[in-house]
Structure 1
Amino acid sequence: MNTDICSMHIVLAAATSFEIQPTIDLLTNGSAPGGHTTDVLITGIGSLSTVYALMRQIGRRKPDIVIQAGIAGCFTPGRIGAVLAVKEEVLGDLGVKEGQDFKTVFDLHLVDRDVPPFHNGLLINPHNNLLNLTGLDQVRGITINEISTDKDRIDWYQQNMSPVVESMEGGALHFTCLQEGIPFLQLRSVSNDIGQRDKSRWDIRSAIAHLNQQLMETIKKI
């Protein structure tokens, strides 16, 4: 138990229902293991819809914890099916491309790298007790609005931002929860290698199965 509170209210967030449908099927009338209550929040795809959905949910009832779960692409080959906990997020495409160079809003000095909730340009989850509870590898995620397929852009991300997984919603979770002072977790299961658009080589079924197994185990531990 991570806290003195015996029963907590957990918001389980995902971009699409199919990513967490096995967990939804196991939750009965909003009840979860450990006597916790849960709300399932399907935010929609992308940062804009995620921030809006989270803020509406928080306005109705502020949760004790938000857990975002979903599948993701991975910059490190050979990790399909692995479930990872995202420790920190970087906003990958917020900036401008000048010639062959991409400059972030921090490079352009439009935003200070340490203006809250950023720390050196990163959105860092400070809740180490929750992260450690998962027992998962803790990695850096990158949030983008366009799925990465261009080799040059992928290489730039790897060289300049060092992400492990890519999503379209992770940064929105970190930003919102940090601003609102709500503990949170982001769990990502790898379905494919970044840049690989041959979906016959993806393993979405395995990624979802592993994700939901880990998700239920995590809820039980809280």
Structure 2
Amino acid sequence: MSRTLIVTAVTAEADAVCAGLMGSWSRGRTRLPAGPGNLVSPDWDRQLLTTSTLGPYVGRRRGPITVLAAGTGGPAAAAGTATALAVASAAGQPFDLVVTMGVAGGFRGWAEVGDIVVAERMVAADLGAESGLDEEPPSAPAGRISEMDRNLGFHAAGAPTRRGPDGRGPTGSGTFLTLDDLGLGSSTVRPEPELVSRLHTVLDATGRRIVTGTVVSVSTVTGTERRASALTERLDPVAEAMEGYAVALAARSFGVPAAEIRAVSNPVGRRDRAGWNLPAALASLRTAAAALVAHPEGLVAAEALPAAGGTAAAGSGPQHGSNGAR
């Protein structure tokens, strides 16, 4: 049986995923006598989870699925993922798939609050170097561009720096250089198209809007419209989170496929906590986890699938929305 590691950043996300794994309340199969000595509610009809010790981490498990809250940001997520994979492999029970799950910001026009996002690309959006002028022009406006925005490819006037024909290379001063530009590796991890397609199909059964496309991983969450525009100009993403790229790299080092599923809690842009809806996002996360339990075929890595007469062809570009349209 295929074993899956689900990695979240914080406990609240892990709780939502675990709630989905456990099932729903019902007055069904078992009735326990009421009384002060009875520690389990007579209405409890969920699948209980067991704990799973993975080095210094404690995960929660239902059958072949283990949920681990590894910490916020790429370094913590990569450390937790690598440790869990190493411990499981040493125990002779290796994981076959790693899935990052959690809340995310959605880019306007692509993903709205409550939508579920499946990554077709995981991109380290702010991992690289800046190149160009090292000081602001004397005529720069009072609201000077921040260092983070400059790193993402903006000059002082606040307009996105033009990219080369391939969308990566620099064309002028103030350009952001990716790992690819620097010859230091790749800033992008692409999950198996077959896996993305299966996850989309399984999650579509939830009735929620499912969006596929680029999910950017950042070290600093976007808090300005300027930076949101810069990311859109450079990468055309559908959602922003912090851990997906790092988790995928850790999984790759063990030869394990990775995927990323996000539930949108807020629009990407000016930081406005009043516009966040974490309960809605966590509810979508719980619904997504329940769908994965109900349809475990979605959590099978492509190489583990039996040979079939044909496979769905992967599109040449991102498909946004359940019908592939914006």
Query: Shared fold (TM-score greater than 0.5)?
Result: yes
CA distance in 2, matches of 1:160, 1:130: 23
Cα 1:40–1:84 change in 2 (3 A) is same
Deviation at 1:212, TM superposition (A): 1.1
2:101 corresponds, among 44, 48, 69, to 69
Deviation at 1:206, TM superposition (A): 0.6
Deviation at 1:156, TM superposition (A): 1.6
Q: Contact between 2:212 and 2:238, CA under 8 Å: does it hold in 1?
A: no
1:18 corresponds, among 4, 12, 20, to 12
Amino acid at match of 1:183: P
Q: Contact between 1:93 and 1:104, CA under 8 Å: does it hold in 2?
A: no
CA distance in 2, matches of 1:39, 1:107: 33
Deviation at 1:131, TM superposition (A): 3.8
CA distance in 2, matches of 1:130, 1:221: 14
1:104 corresponds, among 160, 177, 185, to 177
Deviation at 1:164, TM superposition (A): 1.0
Cα 1:75–1:22 change in 2 (3 A) is closer
CA distance in 2, matches of 1:109, 1:183: 26
Amino acid at match of 1:17: T
Cα 1:159–1:21 change in 2 (3 A) is same
Structure with greater proportional strand content = 1
Q: Contact between 2:224 and 2:271, CA under 8 Å: does it hold in 1?
A: no
1:133 corresponds, among 199, 216, 224, to 199
Matched, 1:163 2:231: no
CA distance in 1, matches of 2:294, 2:17: 12
Deviation at 1:215, TM superposition (A): 1.5
Which residue number corresponds to residue 315 of structure 2? none
CA distance in 2, matches of 1:106, 1:59: 27
Which residue number corresponds to residue 138 of structure 2? none
Which residue number corresponds to residue 112 of structure 2? 79
1:124 corresponds, among 184, 190, 207, to 190
Deviation at 1:169, TM superposition (A): 0.3
CA distance in 2, matches of 1:150, 1:133: 32
CA distance in 2, matches of 1:93, 1:8: 34
Deviation at 1:127, TM superposition (A): 5.0
Structure 1 stretches of 4+ moved >4 Å: none
Structure with greater proportional helix content = 1
Q: Percent identity?
A: 19
SS across alignment from 1:137: strand
Count how many residue pairs are aligned between Structure 1 and Structure 2. Answer: 206
Deviation at 1:202, TM superposition (A): 1.2
Which residue number corresponds to residue 88 of structure 1? 121
Which residue number corresponds to residue 42 of structure 1? 69
CA distance in 2, matches of 1:167, 1:47: 10
CA distance in 2, matches of 1:191, 1:169: 16
SS across alignment from 1:217: helix
Deviation at 1:213, TM superposition (A): 0.5
CA distance in 2, matches of 1:130, 1:166: 18
Which residue number corresponds to residue 60 of structure 1? 87
Q: Contact between 1:133 and 1:221, CA under 8 Å: does it hold in 2?
A: no
CA distance in 1, matches of 2:77, 2:114: 24
Unaligned runs of 5+ in 2: 23-46, 51-60, 89-93, 134-154, 156-173, 202-209, 297-326
TM-score (norm 2): 0.58
Amino acid at match of 2:176: K
CA distance in 1, matches of 2:195, 2:245: 20
Q: Give CA deviations for 1:189-214 in whole Å, capped at 9, x if unaligned.
A: 11000123221221110111011111
